[in-house]
Structure 1
Amino acid sequence: MWLVLASSDRAKAWTEWDTYRVALLRCGSLFSAVRIPGYLVYTAAGAEEPEAVRRFLAEILDGGPIFYDVGGQQYYALTPASAARSWRLTVAECLDSDAFLGVPATDLTEFDPRYPAYWVVPMDGPGTLCAPDDVALLVLMGHQSAVKKAEADR
C-alpha cells in the first residue's frame, strides 16, 4: 500500500495496521487530509444512514477516498499534499506537514466496533485522492445546510 510511504518507519506502520488496524502517518508529503465534522457531512447528504452517506460521498467526491473516525465523529478526505497551501475554509481543517493522522487499514471498509476508524469510500488505487474543489463543495454544502437548519429552528 503506497500510503505507508508517508511514514518514516514503514515497518512500524505495517505493524500498526496489522495490530491496531490504524497506522499513524504524516500528512504533507504524499497527501493532506481535510477533517470534516460529521454534522457537516450529514447535513450535506441530507441523511445519517451509513449507506446513504457512503453513496453521497462517493458521488460528490467522484470516488475519492474518505474515512470516518468513529470516536471523534470526523470524516477525513485525503487530498493532494498541495491542497493545504490553498485551503481557506475555516469550518473544516486541512492537515499539512505539521500533522500526523491515524489512517485505517485499507481493507477496513465497514464499521467495526473494535476499531476506531474505517473507510467510507475506499481508495480506488495507488495515488487516488480527492480533488480539493470537490471536498470544498462538500464542506460548503454542509455548512450552508447547517446554517439554514439553525435559522429555521429559531
Structure 2
Amino acid sequence: MALLPMGGLFSAVRMPEYLLTALSGGAEAACVDDFLAEALGGGPVICDPRFSRYYALVPADVSTTPHRMADTWHALGVSCLGRGSHLGVPRPDAVDSRRPSASYWSVPLNSAAMLCTPLMVARLIAAGRSCVDTEPEA
C-alpha cells in the first residue's frame, strides 16, 4: 500500500458502504464491485473493508469545485478528498475482495488517464440518497 497525496494527479470521493449496498441490491463485496464498475463506467474505485468505505478516484480539481449538495453529502457520510488529504492506495494487483481487512481495487485502475466522471459519481450519490431515504426503518 502507498500513501498518496490527493489534489495533484487525482482526488477521491469517499462513500460509505451502506450507501452503495443499498444501490447494488446485495451486501456481498463482489456484488457492490460489479455494480460500481457498471455505474461508474469502469472508473477506478478503492474499497477499504476495514472502515466500510469506497473511494472513487476523480480528477484533481473536483474537491475544489463548490458542491451545492455538500451538506447533504456530509449527512450521508460522503466527502471529497483533495489537497491536504492523503489516501492509502493498494498495490495494482490487489483486486481480491475475499480478504476481509485488506484494501483492494473494487474497480481496478486501468490507466492513469481514466478516472471516474464527477457527474457519474454525483448521480450515484444522489441515487443512493434517494434509495436510503425511501428505505423502511427497522
- TM bucket (normalised to shorter chain) is 0.7 to 0.9
Residue 98 (1) aligns with residue 84 (2): yes
Which SS does the other structure have where 1:71 is aligned? coil
**Counterpart for residue 14 of structure 1:** none
| Amino acid paired to 1:80 | P
Q: Deviations over 1:95-128 (max 9, x none)?
A: 0111011111111001253863000100121221
**Counterpart for residue 9 of structure 1:** none
Structure 1: stretches of 5+ with no match in the other structure: 1-21
**Counterpart for residue 60 of structure 1:** 39
TM-score for the superposition, normalised by structure 1: 0.79
Which SS does the other structure have where 2:47 is aligned? strand
**Structure 1 position 87, deviation (Å):** 5.2
Structure 2: stretches of 5+ with no match in the other structure: none
**Counterpart for residue 137 of structure 2:** 153
Contact 2:30–2:97, Cα closer than 8 Å, also in 1: no
Contact 2:50–2:100, Cα closer than 8 Å, also in 1: no
Residue correspondence of structure 1 range 49-88 to structure 2 within 5 A: 49-86=28-65, 88=67
**Counterpart for residue 113 of structure 2:** 127
Structure possessing the higher relative contact order (Cα contacts under 8 Å, 6 or more residues apart): 2
Report the RMSD for the aligned CA atoms in angstroms: 1.6
Q: 1:85 to 1:146 in 2, by over 3 A?
A: same
Q: Deviations over 1:3-54 (max 9, x none)?
A: xxxxxxxxxxxxxxxxxxx111000010000000000111111211222212
TM-score for the superposition, normalised by structure 2: 0.87
Equivalent pairs counted in the alignment come to 131
Larger Rg: 1
Contact 1:87–1:94, Cα closer than 8 Å, also in 2: no
| Amino acid paired to 1:32 | S
Given the alignment, which residue of 103, 107, 111 partners 1:117?
A: 103
Which SS does the other structure have where 2:60 is aligned? coil
C-alpha distance in structure 1 between counterparts of 2:66 and 2:88, whole Å: 21
Contact 1:67–1:75, Cα closer than 8 Å, also in 2: yes
| Amino acid paired to 1:76 | Y
